[in-house]
Chain A
Amino acid sequence: MKKKVLLMGKSGSGKTSMRSIIFANYIARDTRRLGATIDVEHSNVRFLGNLVLNLWDCGGQEVFMENYIAAQRDHIFRNVEVLIYVFDVESREYERDMHYFQSCIDAILQNSKDARIFCLIHKMDLVQEEQRDLVFQERETDIKRRSAPLGITAFGTSIWDETLYKAWSSIVYSLIPNVRHLEAHLDSFCSICEADEVVLFERTTFLVISHSTHKEHADIHRFEKVSNIIKQFKLSCSKSQAQFQCMEVRADDFAVFIDVLTPNTYVMVVMSDPTIQSAATLINIAAARSHFHRIEQGQIAR
């Protein structure tokens, strides 16, 4: 199943940077080396076995934008499943950005009106911390007003913290066809293991696909933080010619296991019962592997 994902926005707003961080193993500071994208860069990202994201990274300089909206209109905006529009929060040409955004919305409305639209208000790290919520809400309402009648979902993001992972996880979550089914199985896995929480990550991007929580946790950003940390750890492993395989963290009152589940996913199991031995959980993860592999390939009916 191939899904066309358009990545658009003004030149220099950070489209290629975020794509490189999420899909191409860049770390945030390496994105300074990226140059401007010329025309459209296509990339295919295999995600969860049968789902392939066909990512169109559209260069944002005005010549190109005009070209997309006029000459290549059909070519670009046909069969779009997801439009991700990136705004630079610090942009000085607010009205002009909005003008292009509205032209894109128009084109989507004409060519693929069922597409889901996500707006990322990017570079939020440049806004002072106490003002972030306010600025974000202001922008969100404005974008929502301008994009009517199409509904949009907005996120405030930054490549320097976990917000980027949160936004992309939500985007990817909305694309996975059998996610409810997957969630139900994850839930029963969680109760058999007697775990507090089980989280499923995509293997290469470490985006959160699904989770099952049996014991609430105070920090609502914990998944994105874990994604961010483990991804960086994985990258530093590969620098020393080692492959990240699995990890176990054990303290007095909890134990966390991060391990491969299927060829496309990692699982994180959080246990808070200190009497349950590591080996028992590892056996359970190993036993669950083939089952989840079959679910992923769609062999277990809904």
Chain B
Amino acid sequence: MLKPKAIAQVLAQVNTAGVKATLLLNPDGSLISFAGWSEREARVLAAVASNVWFAYERHGRPAGSEVINEDGKESLQDLILECEAGKLCVSRASKMLLCLVADEETEWGLLKAKVIGNNGYAFVRHPT
């Protein structure tokens, strides 16, 4: 089960050190919870992020790679993109996707560390 308000608070804690918005979304692009930005912007971003994620997963899957997730299938784990006006990081969190938007100055490593840290929360690991 998800506690909607608690999740929003956890996501809000990620929004430091250059991270502007944090979103939790379903693989189909529907927004579950977010922190930072307006709802309208968040919805658009969620749709874009899920689209990008699946474009990579479908077409960018490396042949014969060794990456195996919990389901026993190989799949994309993290996706970090550098855009014109910032950085975007999408990561698999249980059956959902976690999406961070940061400005250009944010370091790659910090972004990745934040994603790993957030995924460590029990609610993301076991949402049942």
The reply to whether the CB of A183 lies closer than 8 angstroms to some CB of chain B is no
- Give B6's nearest chain A residue, CB to CB: A194
Q: Is the CB of A280 within 8 A of B33?
A: yes
- Contact A279 B1, CB 8 Å, known A287-B127, A287-B128: no
Q: How far is the CA of A139 from the CA of B53 in the complex (A)?
A: 68
The reply to whether the CB of B100 lies closer than 8 angstroms to some CB of chain A is no
Give the size category of A's interface with B: 10 to 19
The reply to whether the CB of A232 lies closer than 8 angstroms to some CB of chain B is no
Min CB gap B124→A, angstroms: 12
Chain B 65-79 interface residues, beta-carbon cutoff 8 Å to A: none
Measured between beta carbons, the chain B residues less than 8 angstroms from A277 are 4, 30-34
The reply to whether the CB of A141 lies closer than 8 angstroms to some CB of chain B is no
Q: Is the CB of B8 within 8 A of A279?
A: no
Measured between beta carbons, the chain A residues less than 8 angstroms from B127 are 283, 287
Measured between beta carbons, the chain A residues less than 8 angstroms from B7 are 280
Chain A 246-302 interface residues, beta-carbon cutoff 8 Å to B: 273, 275-281, 283-284, 287-288
Q: How far is the CA of A279 from the CA of B30 in the complex (A)?
A: 6
- Contact A280 B4, CB 8 Å, known A287-B127, A287-B128: yes
Q: Is the CB of A280 within 8 A of B2?
A: yes
Q: How far is the CA of A187 from the CA of B36 in the complex (A)?
A: 31
Q: Is the CB of A284 within 8 A of B1?
A: yes
The reply to whether the CB of A71 lies closer than 8 angstroms to some CB of chain B is no
Q: How far is the CA of A281 from the CA of B31 in the complex (A)?
A: 11
Q: Is the CB of B1 within 8 A of A287?
A: yes
Q: Is the CB of B1 within 8 A of A280?
A: no
Q: Is the CB of B3 within 8 A of A279?
A: no
Measured between beta carbons, the chain B residues less than 8 angstroms from A280 are 2, 4, 7, 32-33
| Cross-interface CB contact of B3 among A194, A273, A275, A288, cutoff 8 Å | A194
The reply to whether the CB of A1 lies closer than 8 angstroms to some CB of chain B is no
Min CB gap B102→A, angstroms: 22
Q: How far is the CA of A281 from the CA of B2 in the complex (A)?
A: 8
Min CB gap B77→A, angstroms: 21
Measured between beta carbons, the chain A residues less than 8 angstroms from B1 are 192-193, 284, 287-288
Q: How far is the CA of A190 from the CA of B42 in the complex (A)?
A: 26
| Cross-interface CB contact of B8 among A193, A275, A281, cutoff 8 Å | A275
Q: Is the CB of A278 within 8 A of B128?
A: no
Task: Flag B27-39 by CB within 8 Å of A: 1 or 0 each.
Answer: 0001111100001
15 A-B residue pairings within 8 Å (CB atoms): A192-B1, A275-B4, A275-B8, A275-B39, A276-B5, A276-B33, A277-B31, A277-B34, A279-B32, A280-B2, A280-B7, A280-B33, A283-B2, A284-B1, A284-B2
What are the nearest 5 A-B pairs in CB distance? A279-B30, A276-B4, A279-B32, A280-B4, A280-B32
Chain B positions near chain A (C-beta within 8 angstroms): 1-5, 7-8, 25-26, 30-34, 39, 127-128
Chain A positions near chain B (C-beta within 8 angstroms): 192-194, 273, 275-281, 283-284, 287-288
* Apart from A192-B1, A279-B26, A284-B2, 6 more pairs, CB < 8 Å: A275-B39, A276-B4, A277-B30, A279-B31, A287-B1, A287-B2
